[in-house]
Structure 1
Amino acid sequence: MTVADENGKQAQRKAAMAVLAHSDAAEIARRLEPIAVPAYENLREPENGLVMLRGRIGGDGAPFNLGEATVSRAAVRLATGEVGFGYTLGRDRQKAQMIALCDALVQSNEFSGAVEANVLTPLRAAMASERDRKAAETAATRVDFYTMVRGEG
């Protein structure tokens, strides 16, 4: 595999993780149903934990600990050898496992097309539709202010 192919695969995984992390667990499960998911094993059972969030004043100041966030994570390996990892904010272990499964399937030559067509593309479309709906809702409440020049002196 060439460096360009490897970079393309990494970009594909990154895009898939962005969509899956922002999607609803029930919707991911519903989209995975038509795919004949191969056998897999849990490398890391789904679990909940905490991560420390770091911040900076003004974007370039000294880093400081902002607080903690709850996350769920999982790792799976397909029978064909692909390993997938799943992380999500919150305490949804099932979602973390489905994200890990999708990550492994995206890496598989046999299943990547099916995951893209049945899971990722519809979820992207739903996210874009929701974003457009919120933008239209916000635009409807927009107030345009302008300054009138008074006739005095």
Structure 2
Amino acid sequence: MSGEMALQESRKGAMRVLAHVPLAEIEARMTELEVPAHRELRAAESGLVMVRGRIGGDGAAFNLGEATVSRAAVRLDSGQVGFGYVLGRDSDKARLIALCDALLQSPEHAPAIETKVVAPLRARMQAGREQSAAEAAATRVDFYTMVRGEG
């Protein structure tokens, strides 16, 4: 995998984690870092996107409805541009995700963002999923059919 593709995969994975955790958890992790100078390219704003669906996964596409999305764009003084999108009307979270995205593209700041912000949040998210799966498995009932000896 080339360096550019690895960076893209790293950004996708980080954005997946950051979009699913609460804003307070991201903010708490970011306080440990020294955030470089940056400015907003696009102030955080909310809007609607059309959600499309398919029956059976391969049927004809149809408009399912609209969802609210917030987005923001940030540029570090060193030139990296980050984008943040989040479902809902949380403009602060969109702005913070955009900042993290820009920092992940900076060779100087990427290791710190990955180890101090993304990795701990990913581990916490995974632990929550495993706990939910264990709770669900504890209530699982195995059904079986008894066959009578009569013919």
TM-score clears 0.5: yes
For 1:24, which of 2, 22, 25 is the aligned residue? 22
What are the equivalent positions in structure 2 for 1:75-114 lying under 5 Å apart?
A: 75-114=73-112
CA distance in 2, matches of 1:45, 1:81: 17
Q: Distance in 1 between matches of 2:76 and 2:111?
A: 16
Aligned to 1:26, the other structure's residue is in SS state: helix
* Aligned-pair CA distance for 1:152: 2.3
Question: TM-score, normalized by length of structure 2?
Answer: 0.97
Give the aligned length.
151
Residues in 1 aligned to 2:134 and 2:60: alpha-carbon distance in whole angstroms: 39
Please identify runs of 4+ aligned residues in structure 1 that moved more than 3 A: none
Deviations 1:33-84 (A, max 9, x none): 0100001100010111110001122222221111000111000000111000
Percent identity between matched residues is: 64
Structure-2 residue corresponding to 1:126: 124
CA–CA distance in structure 2, aligned partners of residues 127 and 22 of structure 1: 8
C-alpha RMSD of the superposition: 1.0
Task: Work out which of the residue numbers 36, 51, 54 in structure 2 matches 1:53.
Answer: 51
Structure 2 regions of 5+ residues with no counterpart? none
The answer to which of 143-152 and 23-32 deviates more is 143-152
Question: What is the TM-score normalised by the length of structure 1?
Answer: 0.96
Shift in Å, 1:151: 2.5
Q: Matched residues in 1 for 2:70 and 2:14: separation?
A: 17
For structure 1, list consecutive stretches of 5 or more residues without a partner in the other structure. Answer: none
Q: How many Å separate the matches in 1 of 2:110 and 2:55?
A: 41
Q: Which residue of 2 aligns with 1:145?
A: 143
